[in-house]
Amino acid sequence: MRLRAIALVFAAMLAVAGAAQAAPPNHGSGKGNAPHGTAAARAALDPLHNAGKSGAECPNGLACRFVPAAYEQNSADPGDYGNYDLANRPADGLAIRYVVIHDTEVGYDDTIALFQNPLAYVSSHYVTRSSDGEVTQMVPTKDVAWHAGNWWINTHSVGIENEGFALEGSEWFTGALYRSLARLTRYTADRYGIPLDREHIIGHDQVPGPTEAFQAGMHWDPGPFFDWDRFMTLVGAPITGAHGDRTGRIVTIDPSFEKNEPVVSACDGSGSHPCPRSRRISSTSIPPRARARRSSTTRSCPARERRARRTGVTRR
Ligand SMILES: [Zn+2]
């Protein structure tokens, strides 16, 4: 998601080492090159809690399914395809070093539908649902999803979108969502040897622009109401500073999530007025119809990915 500059103090905003270059990418079903097509078709019939049967890369016991993102050629231009890039990570030399945490800024079902549209030019490996923590995998982790707006980070990360709206309070990020996200993150880190710290388990807000010109437009999700302390504790790596860099080059900032209420100022688009506290509403208080309307009008995190890709700068 993208919003104006806002002054936020996030728990443990740590630098992403070595990030720089640029861009995004993705794959799909329907074109004969979708290795998970059969598994995906079975997924609709299989119990969600049997990750192996559903074809999803998830820890067993987690409610998880595989629904393939689109992978299709959109025009005669060889570079015009969506919504991810085929790869064979890490065997092809592209080490998976990061897990990137996002929020969707659109509903769960709309996010899945977006990634199934080859003209969206955006994807993530996983999407989680706010209400119950259900996980939908959409891109195999060996492939490169287009989620971070930075090609280098995309090629070296697994992206997880979480259903939520950054300016609408902490309750989108439910206990069920945190638990699923933590299990999935831990599972991914264990598989690829990703250190369980805030240098490697990062928010989209920590991903730098591919060039200086892109920096102002980079995303700041999952936003001020995502509780990194709670999440990292569930992951099994609480933010204590103990896992930090002892050279002094990296400083751990760990304010109390309950007590620290930074001013959020992007609600009216100007970025100059504090959001009314009433914006901090609970997801359960939002009528489904209102949610659907917001889903169609809110600028999503993925939408920014598309724009970045079209510039060509973030591509390769
Ligand atoms: Zn994002």
State the 10-residue block means of pLDDT for the chain, 316 residues long. Answer: 32 31 27 32 50 82 95 96 98 98 96 97 98 97 97 97 90 96 98 95 96 92 93 93 70 82 77 64 40 38 45 31
pLDDT confidence of residue 222: 95
* CA-wise closest residue to 2 among 207, 166, 220: 220
Tell how far the Cα of 156 is from the centroid of ligand 1, in angstroms. 15
pLDDT confidence of residue 9: 29
Structural domains in the chain, CATH included, are 37-311 (3.40.80.10)
Would the pTM of this model clear 0.85, i.e. be above it? no
Tell how far the Cα of 220 is from the centroid of ligand 1, in angstroms. 7
* CA-wise closest residue to 22 among 313, 305, 302, 311: 313
Tell how far the Cα of 101 is from the centroid of ligand 1, in angstroms. 7
β-pairing, 157-162 with 98-103? parallel
pLDDT confidence of residue 245: 66
Tell how far the Cα of 301 is from the centroid of ligand 1, in angstroms. 5
How many angstroms separate the CA atoms of 64 and 77, rounded?
35
- Residue 154 has a CB neighbour count (10 Å cut-off) of 29
Contact 267, 281 (CB under 8 A): no
Residue 136: its H or E element: strand 135-137
β-pairing, 201-203 with 98-103? parallel
* CA-wise closest residue to 12 among 178, 244, 223, 185: 244
Tell how far the Cα of 247 is from the centroid of ligand 1, in angstroms. 30
290 contacts: CB under 8 Å, gap ≥ 6: none
pLDDT confidence of residue 301: 54
Tell how far the Cα of 98 is from the centroid of ligand 1, in angstroms. 14
Tell how far the Cα of 91 is from the centroid of ligand 1, in angstroms. 26
Tell how far the Cα of 45 is from the centroid of ligand 1, in angstroms. 31
Tell how far the Cα of 238 is from the centroid of ligand 1, in angstroms. 23
* CA-wise closest residue to 70 among 28, 34, 30, 25: 28
pLDDT confidence of residue 28: 28
